[in-house]
Amino acid sequence: MHDYSDDLQGYEWPACVTPRCNRQLWVAEAGRWACRPCEDKTAARITELPGLFAQLNTTAMLMKGASRISGPSGSKTPPIPPRLDVLNLVGPGGIAAKLSAIEDSWRSALGWTIAPWRGSPAQAIPDHVRFLRDNLLWACSSYESVGQDIDDLRKLHGECAALAAGEKRPGRVQIGACPTPVDDGWCGTALTASTGSHRVHCGGCGARWDGLGEWRELRAAQEAATAEQARQAAEQGEAAA
Ligand SMILES: [Zn+2]
Ligand SMILES: [Zn+2]
């Protein structure tokens, strides 16, 4: 009688290549790299990305946490900048760059030319999403490295969803003191940002900041002003001692 156990040893039933899944494939999934549930979940995540991007790409998100008090006792509370994690995600190196890298690796595996330049993240993301959705079945079936991309898309979606879920507060948020230089120091008026506008306007000195680039400048100026204030306070402390 033939003992089949030897034949079965060393034979591994094919499993999904997605990290953290590794589910054994069904017979109907034979020949695939990633399992069908991974494909379905990934399709849903890809589809949600443009909406999450739009939600993150608002003043409210960029200003989230801006009024949070940090440090003990509340004295000399430094201005808290707009959340850099959000800025990074909606900037050119964020969601758009990650989707673009995946699209290019799929295009390369398909023997296609790399994706054309598609403009700003807001313009490019819908196009990347369309490409990835259209070719997801191919990738799960025929692209050996798809598991890493599925895992990267899961992490990207999770990061965006967590940040978007944390931002529900409407209205105005405190974003620290106005750092505009005036005669003997700086303006110091408390600045606020509105969820409905990309503009910050100082009611004290009339300074304006509009959009991401200028907000970064505002933040840098606030940090410089805070550092200078701390230095002066230390000097006064020494002089009094
Ligand atoms: Zn899977
Ligand atoms: Zn001012």
CA 47/CA 130 separation, integer angstroms: 9
Name which of 14, 31, 32 is nearest 23 in CA terms.
Answer: 14
Task: Note the ligand closest to the C-alpha atom of 15.
Answer: 1
Q: What's the 208 CA to ligand 2 centre distance in angstroms? A: 9
Q: What's the 33 CA to ligand 1 centre distance in angstroms? A: 9
| pLDDT of amino acid 236 | 84
Q: Going by C-beta distance under 8 Å and a sequence separation of 6 or more, which residues neighbour residue 133?
A: 43, 46, 47
- At residue 97, what is the residue type? A
Task: Note the ligand closest to the C-alpha atom of 32.
Answer: 1
Mean pLDDT, residues 210-218: 81
Give 99-115 pLDDT, tens digit per residue: 999 999 999 999 999 88
Give 33-85 pLDDT, tens digit per residue: 999 999 999 999 999 999 999 888 875 555 555 544 444 434 343 344 556 67
**Which 3 state secondary structure label does DSSP give 181?**
strand
More confident residue, 182 or 129: 129
Residue 10: phi and psi, rounded to 5, are 85, -10
- Highest mean pLDDT: which range of 32-46, 109-123, 158-172, 215-229: 32-46
- Average pLDDT, whole number, for the chain? 83
Which residues keep their CB under 5 angstroms from ion ligand 2?
178, 180, 187, 189, 202, 204-205, 207
178 burial level (CB within 10 Å; 0-12, 13-18, 19+): buried
First-to-last alpha carbon distance for the chain, in angstroms, is 98
